[in-house]
């Protein structure tokens, strides 16, 4: 029965105040909480203020504008002087930091803000994963029942659209999650499973690290309102628990005769061997999980899915982060307790973490239930603490023989079950590997190695099944002849095997370098030291196997001849990719070359390597499926670049129209089955498109490759680079995180993730990544330069200057490093050092796209024509460079007042990128030229893509320019007011911008700007540093 408690007058007033503030926050993101705070006169008013300040902080974090206690101290000193207000707000700030995945601990909070954090959850950053743990008397504060009920309406129902998914039906629900079957509309309506939870869980991170046949994989992770959505393949809906429930209705005598049919996911559980097969698969999954430091902690039949072919898949790794460990209702209602080991039950009271052996105990309970049809322990009831004590006592008692429930169970398996369920940890299996050994030995009719073999009759029966002809007379004679033959062939076989082993080891050594090389050559901005080491590795392999011109009987052929046909193809694919990557290097060198002659030399060398890669593949096989579309695409590009250079006859035999890639495309138009989708070719296509900054095509090559090779960290790294190039930085960050977990020794994962986080203005998290990259590769120049940018964004000018100084000491020669340090030294008051850096930066010839842009901007004020030449050079290196073309438009339009060339630059940008900023900037230039309708069209296109303060401000400029003189358009004032509501710092620009001159004298304009300036002064915000972006 539900009881309705009467709510007090204060509670109603509190709800009304919070509801009103939340409504205004949704309607107007710039709302000021100060306007809603009561006077600090009573305890009730203090409670209202606490709620309002916490809601205000929460909304700032949700909008990506994270605020700290220091910000509130500056704005509300009278409220933060109150200890209770400060403590509550500090906890909310800590909670938001945890939700956002920031590395934070309560001890640091206590020292920094002087608050008592003893009863707070602890943020553990001791490992790659983050865990919430709780004190003995704490319960989880992230997902309490009230929060679940508060957000229950956020969960979809049948027929709802969630992003690219259409909900078909609900498959089940747990304590804090609902699982649905859905269709993924963007991928041919493929059936998928969507698991939705409130807030973030660490399950996707675990599953990304656990790539195994018997662990449920994930396709992707999404956010939908307050929900985290995990997308997984749909493999049916039958779990082992369902199968057990169904089996209870089937008499065992009848079940023994059950025929196993495809799709009959319960029949296999009716035999001992079928049950053991399920447990062996789960033990393999646990071996994989435990090897990566992940304990499942919630093994039970309901968390084991049975696919249509009967294969089991382990699901639900939520408990692996200890997140629900303190939630007693979940543990009882979720059916977890009956499967826990005695030490795991004890840990629910003591707070200790369960171990891998606790998972093996739970697996033993499942095996007992499968074989016996019942749980090994009696069912208990009572309050939580007494229930736990009873269950621990039950497990401390030795169990009776499982044969009493099922006489078909062999004695050795009875001993195996007893060892799994032994009361003392020391008497159990020490690892999943040991358990697997015994399960496999039993399946092979061999005696167990780690458990007892109590029955000699069973051992003799196993021996007889292994050697059915061993006792026959004819067999003895045959055995003697066989032994003589074996002795004669042994020496030759051993020599041949050793030769083959050496060849395979060398193949593995050469192939191990490919993931890192792919990542480096797909990212043209890699620093000189990293690129130099990669070039050295490439040349070592090319020289060792004489790949420039393989000789008959040379090193390549010597290894090639020792391999099977399949291994030969892998060996050829590997070495041809080395040649392709070397050609990619020289292709990039040609782009960066300072003179026409040097460009032609580099591209000629790239052509030679490209043709040798093609010859190597062609010599290996003539089938189309092993040709490389990437090599042919690269050849097309090089032919185009070298069209004015005399090439050898062999290099000119293929024209752009006659290359194999072009022929393949023509054939595909006639016969759609002709494709180039071999994994090696997809890798190379991705690298080619990334080196060409054609990120959409790179994504097209990499997404199917990710699905086919989810265990390969280089796929995730390359896909992250493609997403980052397409400015999909959140997705890129996710890819880099997966790569980092799979490739823990590499510096590339944290380096690239740090860059992605920096692009999202999460400077603190980016610095942590750059620190990790520098730990793995000290002196990494690119990490130092980007850490300097992150520190500059946080206002740490001295730290940023120190990083750039260290980067120069480590060999950084890029022009931009000196120009950036000049700006920082000027801010620090070191004018002489700034002047020296600026002179040095202008004297150096840039060698990369960003340095050309940076030098161009440094010259824009005094020598706009020289700036244009530098920016055009950056655009030549990267024809799709948004940085180059946007700053070209800026110099033409704002410095030279040449509006037509500025519009042409923005036209080029819009073709490749279609950013709101580019549309609205073009609209300003069109409005200045009097092209009113075209300018309005640009405003509409920009607002359809984004409604940022900048876009709204420039929309106001456009409508001001096209309105009659002295009569400001209402639209211009409305857009200006909306822009200043989002960011009042634009109020200063509004007073000075000549594009707004038509309405600056109006009283409405002055009122809007004055209100924004007052609000801006209250906020006392400092503009963030953006070192690589020019003003519009």
> How far apart are alpha carbons 910 and 930 in whole angstroms?
21
Kindly state the average pLDDT of the residues 731-749: 83
Question: Looking at the domain assignment, is residue 644 inside a domain?
Answer: yes
CA torsion sign for 753, 754, 759, 765 is positive
The residues that bridge with 169 in the sheet, in sequence order, are: 181
Q: How far is CA 291 from CA 260, 668, 749, 1025, in A?
A: 33, 45, 21, 44
Say what the pLDDT of residue 207 is.
Answer: 62
Using alpha carbons only, what angle is made at residue 564 by residues 561 and 568, rounded to the nearest 5 degrees? 65
Q: Check if the beta carbon of residue 409 is closer than 8 Å to that of residue 371.
A: yes
Same domain, 449 and 527: no
| 449 and 513 in a common domain | no
Domain stops at, among 434, 460, 486: 460
Name residue, tokens 């052509």. Answer: 607
Specify whether the CB–CB gap between 120 and 192 falls below 8 A: no
Domain-embedded: residue 59 = yes
The residue with greater pLDDT, 476 or 819, is 819
More confident residue, 582 or 27: 582
From the list 923, 939, 940, the residue with the least C-alpha distance to 931 is 923
Domain containing 81 equals 9-126
Pairing of strands 190-198, 227-233: antiparallel
Lookup: tokens for 970: 């209402």
Distances (CA, A) of 361 to 273, 371, 473, 841: 20, 15, 47, 66
Whether the pLDDT of residue 143 is over 80: the answer is: no
For the cut 50, the answer to whether the pLDDT of residue 533 exceeds it is yes
Contacts of 100 (CB under 8 A, 6+ apart): 61, 66
| pLDDT of amino acid 786 | 92
Query: In the chain, what percentage of residues exceed pLDDT 70?
Result: 73
CA dihedral 965, 966, 967, 969 (to 10 degrees): 70
Q: Do 225 and 154 form a contact (C-beta atoms < 8 A)?
A: yes
Looking up residue 299, the CATH number of its domain turns out to be 1.10.510.10
Average pLDDT of the chain is 76
pLDDT value of position 127 = 34
Residue 650 pLDDT > 90: no
CA–CA separation, 675 and 670 (whole Å)? 12
Element (H, E) at 971: helix 970-982
pLDDT of residue 867: 87
Residues 416 and 513 in one domain: no
Three-state SS sequence of 917-959? HHHHHHHHHHHHCCCHHHHHHHHHHHHHHCCCHHHHHHHHHHH
**In whole angstroms, what is the distance from residue 984 CA to residue 30 CA?**
9
**Higher pLDDT residue, 897 or 914?**
897
What per-residue confidence (pLDDT) applies to 454? 85
pLDDT band, residue 417 (cuts 50/70/90): very high
Structural domain contains residue 49: yes
> Looking at residue 329, what is its pLDDT?
44
Asked if residue 532 and residue 453 are part of one domain, the reply reads: no
| DSSP string across 185-250 | GGGTTEEEEEEEEES--SHHHHHHH---TTB---SEEEEETTEEEEEEE---S-BHHHHHHHHTTS
Q: In what order do the strands lie in the sheet with 220-224?
A: 161-162, 165-173, 177-184, 190-198, 227-233, 220-224
pLDDT of residue 994 exceeding 80, the answer is yes
pLDDT at residue number 359? 92
DSSP 393-404: HHHTSPPPPGGG
- Based on the fold, state whether residues 523 and 603 are members of the same structural domain: yes
Residue 672: is its pLDDT beyond 90?
no
- Residue 284 inside a domain? The answer is yes
Residue 219 domain-assigned (yes or no):
no
pTM for the complete prediction? 0.47
Lowest mean pLDDT, pick from 65-79, 412-426, 588-602, 1017-1031: 1017-1031
In a domain, residue 387? The reply is: yes
782 and 646 both lie in a single domain:
yes
- Cα dihedral 247, 249, 254, 259 sign: negative
Asked if residue 123 has pLDDT above 70, the reply is no
Q: What does the pLDDT average to over 554-567?
A: 64
pLDDT at 798 over 90: yes
Same domain, 634 and 782: yes
Q: Which pLDDT score, from 0 to 100, does residue 60 have?
A: 80
Q: Are residues 775 and 920 in the same domain?
A: no
Residue 945 has pLDDT above 70, yes or no: yes
Ranges of H-type helices in 351-383: 356-372
Contact, 807 vs 778, CB < 8 A? no
Is the distance from CB of 958 to CB of 924 less than 8 angstroms? yes
Q: Which residue has 């004015």 as its token pair?
A: 644
What is d(CA 693, CA 522) in angstroms, rounded to the nearest whole number? Answer: 9
- Lowest-confidence range among 224-228, 375-379, 817-821? 224-228
Locate tokens 């020599």: which residue? 495
Q: What is the pLDDT of residue 940?
A: 92
Cα atoms found within 13 Å of the Cα of residue 357, Cβ hemisphere only: 15
In sequence order, which residues have a C-beta less than 8 Å from that of residue 65 and are 6 or more positions away?
A: none
Q: CB within 8 A of 30, min separation 6: which ones?
A: 980, 981, 982, 983, 984, 1015
- Give a yes or no: residue 192 inside a domain: no
Number of Cβ within 10 Å of residue 273's Cβ equals 11
Residues 690-734 have pLDDT tens digits of: 877 788 888 888 888 787 777 778 788 888 888 888 878 888 888
Q: How many CB atoms lie within 10 A of CB 422?
A: 18
Reply yes or no on whether the pLDDT at 398 is more than 80: no
CA–centroid distance for 910 within its chain: 28
**C-alpha span between 944 and 922 (Å, rounded):** 15
At residue 423, the 3 state secondary structure works out as coil
Tell me: do 541 and 442 sit in the same domain: no
Residue 1013, pLDDT > 80, answer yes
Distance CA 412, CA 468 (A): 21
Q: For the chain, what is the largest distance between any 2 Cα atoms, rounded to a whole number of angstroms?
A: 117
> Which helix (H) or strand (E) is 596 found in, with range?
helix 596-620
Check: CB of residue 874 under 8 Å from CB of residue 852.
Answer: yes
Examine residue 689 and state whether it is found in any structural domain, yes or no: yes
Query: Do 584 and 455 fall into the same domain?
Result: no
The rounded distance, in Å, linking the Cα atoms of 805 and 817 is 9
Model confidence at 144, in pLDDT bands (50, 70, 90)? very low
Whether the CB-CB separation of 856 and 836 falls below 8 Å is answered with no
Where does a domain end: 809, 836, 866? 809
Best CA proximity match to 564, nearest among 523, 507, 524, 481:
507
Sign of the C-alpha dihedral computed for residues 982, 986, 990 and 991 taken in this order: positive
Report yes or no: 990 and 980 within 8 Å, Cβ to Cβ: yes
pLDDT of residue 965: 60
574 pLDDT more than 50: yes
Distances (CA, A) of 699 to 730, 731, 888: 15, 12, 28
Query: How does 312-325 read in b/e, with b if 16+ C-beta sit within 10 Å?
Result: bbbbbbbbbbbbbb
Going by C-beta distance under 8 Å and a sequence separation of 6 or more, which residues neighbour residue 880? Answer: 693, 694, 912, 913
Mean pLDDT of 531-538: 74
Angle (nearest 5°) at CA 674 between 669 and 675: 105
The verdict on 390 and 445 lying in the same domain is: yes
Flag whether pLDDT at 807 surpasses 70: yes
Q: For residues 632-639, give the mean pLDDT.
A: 81
The number of folded domains in the chain is 4
CA distance 69 to 573: 57
Does 157 score more than 50 pLDDT?
Answer: yes
What is the arithmetic mean of pLDDT over 315-336? 52
CA 647 remoteness from chain centre: 45
- pLDDT band, very low/low/confident/very high, at 421 (cuts 50, 70, 90): very high
User: 522 pLDDT band (50/70/90 cuts)?
Assistant: low
Residues 412 and 523 in one domain: no
Give the list of residues 6+ apart from residue 797 with CB closer than 8 angstroms, or none: 791, 824, 827, 828
Residue in the structure block whose two tokens are 């024509």: 865
SS3 468: coil
Give the residue from 95, 91, 198 showing the smallest Cα distance to 147.
198
User: Which range is most confident: 521-530, 776-785, 878-887, 919-928?
Assistant: 919-928
Q: Helix, strand or coil for residue 146?
A: helix
pLDDT at 919: 92
DSSP state of 239: B
DSSP 964: P
Domain harbouring 637, CATH code: 1.25.40.10
Mind listing the pLDDT tens digit for each residue in 327-337?
454 454 446 78
* pLDDT, average across residues 623-648: 67
Average pLDDT estimate for 803-827: 88
679 phi/psi in degrees, rounded to 5: -55, -45
Query: Could you give the CA distance from residue 429 to residue 451 in angstroms, rounded to a whole number?
Result: 8
Last residue of a domain, one of 79, 100, 126: 126
Of the candidates 993, 1003, 1001, the one whose C-alpha atom is nearest the C-alpha of residue 956 is 993
Taking the chain, what is the end-to-end CA distance rounded to the nearest angstrom?
Answer: 64
Which of 243-252, 293-302, 589-598, 924-933 shows the lowest mean pLDDT across its residues?
243-252
Closest CA to 198 of 99, 121, 109: 99
């Amino acid at each position: 029965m539900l009881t309705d408690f009467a709510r007090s007058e204060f509670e109603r007033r509190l709800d009304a105040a919070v509801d009103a503030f939340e409504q205004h926050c949704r309607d107007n993101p710039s709302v000021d909480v100060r306007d809603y705070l009561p006077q600090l006169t009573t305890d009730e008013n203090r409670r209202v203020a606490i709620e309002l300040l916490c809601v205000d902080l929460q909304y700032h974090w949700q909008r990506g504008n994270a605020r700290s206690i220091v910000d509130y101290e500056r704005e509300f000193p009278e409220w933060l002087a109150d200890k209770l207000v400060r403590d509550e707000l500090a906890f909310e700030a800590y909670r938001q930091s945890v939700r956002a995945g920031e590395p934070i601990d309560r001890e640091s909070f206590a020292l920094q803000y002087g608050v008592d954090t003893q009863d707070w959850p602890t943020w553990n950053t001791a490992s790659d994963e983050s865990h919430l743990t709780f004190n003995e008397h704490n319960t989880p504060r992230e997902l309490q029942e009230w929060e679940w009920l508060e957000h229950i309406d956020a969960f979809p129902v049948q027929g709802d659209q969630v992003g690219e998914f259409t909900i078909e039906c609900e498959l089940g629900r747990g304590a804090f999650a609902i699982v649905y079957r859905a269709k993924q509309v963007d991928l041919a309506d493929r059936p998928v499973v969507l698991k939705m939870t409130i807030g973030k869980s660490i399950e996707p991170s675990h599953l990304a690290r656990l790539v195994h046949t018997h662990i449920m994989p994930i396709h992707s992770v999404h956010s939908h309102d307050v929900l985290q959505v995990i997308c997984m393949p749909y493999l049916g809906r039958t779990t082992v628990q369902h199968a057990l429930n169904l089996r209870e209705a089937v008499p065992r005598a009848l079940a023994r005769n059950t025929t196993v049919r495809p799709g009959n996911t319960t029949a296999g559980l009716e035999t001992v061997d079928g049950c053991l097969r399920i447990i062996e698969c789960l033990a393999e999954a646990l071996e994989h999980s435990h090897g990566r430091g992940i304990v499942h902690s919630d093994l039970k039949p309901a968390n084991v899915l049975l696919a249509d072919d009967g294969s089991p898949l382990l699901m639900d790794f939520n408990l692996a982060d200890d997140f629900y460990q303190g939630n007693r209702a979940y543990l009882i209602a979720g059916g977890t307790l009956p499967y826990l080991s005695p030490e795991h039950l004890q840990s629910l009271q003591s707070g200790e973490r369960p171990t891998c052996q606790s998972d093996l105990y739970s697996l033993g309970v499942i095996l007992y239930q499968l074989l016996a049809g019942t749980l090994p322990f009696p069912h208990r009831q009572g309050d939580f603490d007494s229930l736990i004590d009873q269950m621990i006592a039950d497990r401390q008692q030795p169990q009776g023989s499982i044969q009493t429930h099922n006489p078909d169970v062999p004695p050795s398996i009875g001993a195996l079950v007893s060892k799994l369920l032994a009361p003392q940890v020391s008497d159990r299996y020490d690892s999943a590997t040991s358990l697997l050994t015994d399960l496999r030995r039993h399946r092979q009719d061999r005696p167990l190695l780690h458990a007892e073999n109590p029955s000699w009759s069973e051992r003799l029966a196993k021996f007889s099944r292994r050697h059915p002809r061993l006792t026959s007379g004819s067999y003895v004679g045959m055995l003697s002849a066989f032994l003589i033959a074996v002795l004669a062939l042994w020496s030759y076989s051993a020599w041949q095997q050793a030769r083959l082993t050496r060849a395979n080891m060398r193949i593995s050594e050469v192939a191990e370098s490919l993931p890192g090389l792919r990542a480096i050559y797909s990212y043209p901005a890699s620093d000189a030291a990293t690129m130099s080491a990669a070039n050295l590795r490439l040349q070592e392999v090319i020289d060792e196997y004489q790949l420039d011109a393989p000789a008959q009987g040379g090193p390549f052929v010597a290894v090639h001849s020792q391999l099977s046909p399949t291994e030969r193809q892998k060996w050829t694919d590997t070495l041809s990719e080395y040649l392709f990557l070397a050609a990619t290097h020289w292709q990039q060198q040609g782009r960066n070359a300072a003179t026409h002659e040097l460009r032609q030399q580099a591209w000629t060398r790239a052509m030679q390597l490209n043709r040798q890669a093609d010859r190597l593949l062609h010599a290996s096989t003539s089938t189309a499926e092993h040709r490389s579309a990437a090599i042919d695409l690269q050849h097309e590009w090089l032919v185009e670049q070298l069209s004015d250079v005399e090439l050898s006859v062999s290099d000119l035999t293929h024209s752009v129209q006659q290359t194999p890639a072009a022929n393949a495309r023509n054939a595909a138009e006639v016969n759609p089955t002709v494709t180039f989708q071999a994994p090696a070719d997809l890798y190379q296509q991705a690298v080619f498109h990334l080196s060409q900054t054609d990120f959409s095509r790179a994504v097209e090559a990499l997404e199917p490759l990710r699905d086919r090779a989810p265990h390969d960290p280089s796929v995730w790294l390359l896909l992250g680079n493609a997403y980052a190039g397409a400015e999909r930085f959140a997705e890129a960050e996710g890819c880099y995180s997966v790569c980092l977990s799979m490739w823990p020794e590499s510096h590339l994962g944290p380096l690239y993730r740090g860059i992605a986080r920096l692009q999202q203005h999460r400077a603190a998290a980016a610095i942590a990544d750059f620190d990790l990259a520098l730990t793995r590769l000290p002196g990494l120049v690119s990490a130092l330069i980007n850490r300097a940018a992150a520190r500059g964004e946080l206002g740490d000018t001295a730290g940023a200057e120190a990083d750039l100084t260290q980067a120069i000491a480590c060999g950084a020669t890029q022009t931009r490093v000196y120009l950036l340090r000049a700006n920082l030294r000027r801010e620090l008051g070191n004018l002489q050092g700034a002047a020296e850096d600026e002179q040095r930066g202008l004297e150096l010839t840039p060698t990369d796209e960003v340095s050309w842009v940076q030098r161009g901007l440094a010259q824009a004020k005094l020598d706009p024509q020289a700036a244009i030449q530098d920016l055009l050079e950056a655009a030549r290196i990267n024809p799709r460079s948004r940085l180059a073309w946007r700053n070209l438009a800026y110099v033409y339009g704002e410095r030279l007042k040449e509006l037509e060339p500025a519009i042409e630059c923005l036209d080029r940008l819009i073709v490749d990128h279609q950013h709101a900023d580019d549309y609205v900037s073009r609209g300003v230039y069109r409005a200045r030229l009097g092209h009113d309708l075209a300018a309005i069209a640009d405003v509409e296109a920009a607002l359809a893509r984004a409604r940022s303060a900048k876009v709204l401000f420039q929309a106001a400029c456009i409508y001001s320019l096209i309105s009659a003189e002295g009569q400001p358009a209402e639209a211009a004032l409305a857009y200006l007011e909306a822009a200043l509501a989002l960011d009042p710092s634009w109020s200063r620009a509004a007073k000075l911008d000549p594009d707004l001159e038509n309405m600056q004298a109006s009283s409405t304009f002055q009122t809007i700007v004055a209100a924004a300036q007052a609000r801006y002064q209250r906020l006392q915000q400092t503009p963030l540093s953006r070192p690589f972006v020019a003003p519009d």
